Chain A
Amino acid sequence: MFFHIIGVEADIFKANKELAERNRMLFKKHNVKTIDVMGAIGSGKTALIETMSHLLKKRGIRVGAITGDVAGDDDAKRLESIGVPVENINTGKECHLDAHLIHHAIEHFDLDAIDVLFIENVGNLVCPADFQLGTDIRCVVVSVTEGDDMVRKHPVIFGTSDVAVVNKIDLADAMGVDLKRIEEDFRKIKPNGILIETSVKTGEGIEKLMDAMGL
C-alpha cells in the first residue's frame, strides 16, 4: 500500500464567488445599485424595504426587489402591492440565497427599468453571510425585540457587513433594551462602522439609513 499526498487547492465556494462577480458586473453594466438585506425572521427587513421603496419612488427613483424565503410569497406580495416589481425565490431547505439563485432571478428582470434593487435574504442571521450575491452593499438588520446582545453574539456578521441596522427602536423602552449597550458592543468590534437605529413605525432613522447606503 502506498499512500501519498496530492496537492489539490480546490476552492469549494468558487462557483458562488464567480457567479457573484458576474452578477456584480451585470448590475454595474445596467447601472443598478444593489443591496443585500440580511437578518433574522421578523427583524423588519420587508418593512424597511417597503418604507425605503416608498420614499425612493417619491423621488422618482425606480425600485425593484428580489425576495428570498424558504417558502411562500408573502413578502413579494407586500412589495408588489406598493408597485415594486418583485421576483420571488423559494429556497426550500436552504438557509440562504446564493449567487446562482440571484443570477436566475435577474433573468426575469428588466434591469434597465430600475435604479435600485433590494434583495431580501432568507430570514437567518448567520448563513447568508457566507454567500456573496454580488451586491454593492450588504446590510444586516436586527431589531430590539431580539434583545441587546445581538452584536456580541454575532460579531462576524456585524463586522463584515457594510451597514448594520437596529430596527424597532420605538419598542426599545417597552422591551427594556438599552440602545447604548448595542452601540457600545458594535463600537468595540468596529469603531468606524456604520450602525443606524431605525423605526419603520415612526420613520426615525430611515433617511439616515438611506444616506448611509448612498440612496
Chain B
Amino acid sequence: MHEFSTAQGIVETAIHYAKKNKAKKVKKVFLEIGELTFLNVEQLKFSYDILSKDTILDNSELVVEVKSATYKCMKCGASGKLGKIENEDHFSIPVFHCPKCGGEIEILSGRQCFIKNMEIEV
C-alpha cells in the first residue's frame, strides 16, 4: 500500500538523474526490487504513470525486475537463492532456512528497491 510514496521516491530520483545527465526526454526507467519487499508491481507502475505526468518522465516506461532473495547459511556457509516451497494454494512461497542443511540463515538481499539505469534522450 506504500506504492504511491515509493513511486514518489522513484520519480524524484529519476528526475534528478535525468537533469544531471542533461536529458531532453526519458524513455525508460529500469527498477530492480527484491522479492521480499511488499511492493505490488502493477500499483507501482500505475502510481509512476500518474506522478510522471507533466515532468520530464512523461510517457516514459517504468520497467520493473523482481529479483530473487539471497541467503547465507550461518551453520554450513552455503549461499544462493532463497529456497521455495509451494503452499496449499499452489503459490510459491519462500522458506527461511538453509536448503542444504536446514540451518539458520542470514538474508543477504531481497528487500532492495533501486533504479539500476535509465534510457534517456540527450
Q: Mark A residues whose CB is within 8 Å of B.
A: 1-13, 94-96, 124, 126-127, 129-131, 152, 155-156, 159-160, 188-193
Contact = CB atoms under 8 A, between A and B. Distances in A.
Give 4 closest A-B pairs by Cβ, nearest first. A159-B96, A155-B93, A95-B1, A190-B96
A4 B96 contact: no
Contacts of A189: 85, 93-96
Q: DSSP class of A's interface residues: helix, strand, loop or mixed?
A: mixed
18 contacts: A2-B121, A3-B120, A4-B119, A6-B17, A8-B14, A8-B17, A9-B116, A12-B10, A13-B114, A94-B2, A95-B1, A127-B2, A130-B38, A131-B2, A152-B93, A156-B38, A156-B94, A159-B96
Chain B interface extent, by class: 35 or more
A152 B86 CA distance: 10
Contacts of B96: 159-160, 189-190, 193
Most buried by B among A7, A126, A130, A131: A130
Interface string B77-117: 00000000101110001111100001110010001111111
A137 to B, nearest CB: 16
A133 to B, nearest CB: 14
Contact of B120 (A6, A95, A155, A191): A6
Given A129-B38, A130-B37, A192-B104, A8 B117 contact: yes
Interface string B1-37: 1100110011001100100010000010000000011
Interface of B: 1-2, 5-6, 9-10, 13-14, 17, 21, 27, 36-39, 85, 87-89, 93-97, 102-104, 107, 111-122
A190 B95 contact: yes
A10 to B, nearest CB: 5
Contacts of A4: 119-120, 122
A95 B36 CA distance: 18
B117 A1 contact: no
Nearest to B10: A12
Contacts of B88: 152
A13 B33 CA distance: 11
Contacts of A191: 97, 102
